[in-house]
Each structure stands twice: as structure tokens, then as C-alpha cells.
């Protein structure tokens, strides 16, 4: 396994949710986050720039931190219309459902804003594709551990723990199958 150190500003998630629009992704729900950073707010300008252009080139890579198993990092690099690299820190404890939604939908809507600004309130945003980067099976195992841990805290009997964990994951994913359909009238 190769360890690659990426030096890029890290943005934190202030709000998360799901976004749907008939004009994007055939009306599917897309995971949406509102981010900010204490060290850099250049992404705010990048989002404005991208909102005025039709497409750009983006490369993404999931990673973790060596010293904390509670965080996954999504590194995003824009190549066009401008070269910019940044990372988004996801807490596995707090953001596991939005991470799973990203893996399931293969997309992410990103907006810059502050704590308390809901995903529906922030107008400037970008939507990027998050393709398969080869860690889906690692994510599945991680998700099962997270949900199973939450079920244990709810005092689910050990005999039912695996079944209840998988049911919970399936319920989370059912929501992502909702689509806004066009009115053809």
C-alpha cells in the first residue's frame, strides 16, 4: 500500500443533506454538504467560477488519516477551468450516512457556507461526480462496523445484531432511490 501525503486546505462540513432537482442526475437525490475552513476560503471563489461554466475536469480520491480512524478525507482536485486542490474531512461517527450516500449516488453537491446555513439555503454550489476509486468494499466493512456499534448502544440483542444492522443500512439506502420525475403533461 502506498501512502501519499497530500498538502491541501481541509474544509469541514457545517451542514449536510440530500438535494434533488429534475435537471440533475435524472431527478435522483444527491448528497449535499455546506463546507467552510478556518485556513482558506478560496473554494468559495471556485464554486462561483464553476457555477458560470458548464463543465470542468475533476479528480477525486478517498483517504484516511494515519492517526485517527474516525476521519475519512475526500481529496478533490479541479483541473479546469482553474487548478485547485482541497480536501473535505468527514467524521465517520457523524457523517457516515452522507458518506454512504456519496458511495451509492456517485455524486456530491458542494456549497460554501457557515454553520446553520442549510443546503437548501445556499445558492452557489457545484455538483461533482465521485467515481469508484476502488475502496467500495472497505467502505462496506467500515459502514457495517459503524452501524453495528450504534445498534449495540441501543441494546439490540446479540442474536439480532447482524440482521438489524443490515436492515438499518438498507433503510438508509432506500431513501436514495426516490426520484423527482418530469411532468410530461
- SS3 state at 33: strand
Backbone angles phi, psi at 133, to 5 degrees: -105, 10
Q: What string of pLDDT tens digits covers the 185 residues of the chain?
A: 555 566 788 999 999 999 887 776 677 889 999 998 887 778 888 888 777 666 668 899 998 765 567 899 999 998 877 888 999 999 999 999 999 999 999 999 999 988 888 888 888 888 899 999 999 999 999 999 999 999 999 999 999 999 999 999 999 999 888 877 765 55
Q: Which helix (H) or strand (E) holds 137?
A: helix 136-153
- SS3 state at 38: coil
End-to-end CA distance of the chain, in Å?
55
Amino acid at each position: 500500500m502506498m501512502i501519499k501525503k497530500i498538502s491541501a486546505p481541509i474544509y469541514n462540513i457545517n451542514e449536510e443533506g440530500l438535494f434533488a432537482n429534475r435537471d440533475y442526475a435524472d431527478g435522483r437525490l444527491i448528497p449535499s454538504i455546506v463546507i467552510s475552513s478556518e485556513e482558506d476560503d478560496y473554494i468559495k471563489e471556485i464554486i462561483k467560477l464553476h457555477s458560470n461554466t458548464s463543465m470542468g475536469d475533476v479528480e477525486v480520491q478517498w483517504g484516511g488519516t494515519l492517526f485517527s480512524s474516525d476521519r475519512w478525507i475526500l481529496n478533490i482536485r479541479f483541473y479546469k477551468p482553474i487548478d485547485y486542490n482541497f480536501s473535505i474531512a468527514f467524521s465517520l461517527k457523524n457523517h457516515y450516512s452522507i458518506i454512504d450516500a456519496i458511495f451509492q449516488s456517485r455524486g456530491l453537491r458542494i456549497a460554501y457556507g457557515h454553520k446553520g446555513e442549510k443546503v437548501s439555503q445556499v445558492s452557489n454550489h457545484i455538483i461533482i461526480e465521485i467515481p469508484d476509486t476502488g475502496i467500495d468494499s472497505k467502505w462496506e466493512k467500515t459502514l457495517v462496523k459503524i452501524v453495528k456499534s450504534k445498534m449495540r448502544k441501543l441494546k439490540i440483542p446479540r442474536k439480532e445484531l447482524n440482521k438489524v444492522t443490515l436492515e438499518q443500512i438498507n433503510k438508509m439506502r432506500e431513501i436514495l432511490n426516490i426520484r423527482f420525475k418530469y411532468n410530461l403533461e
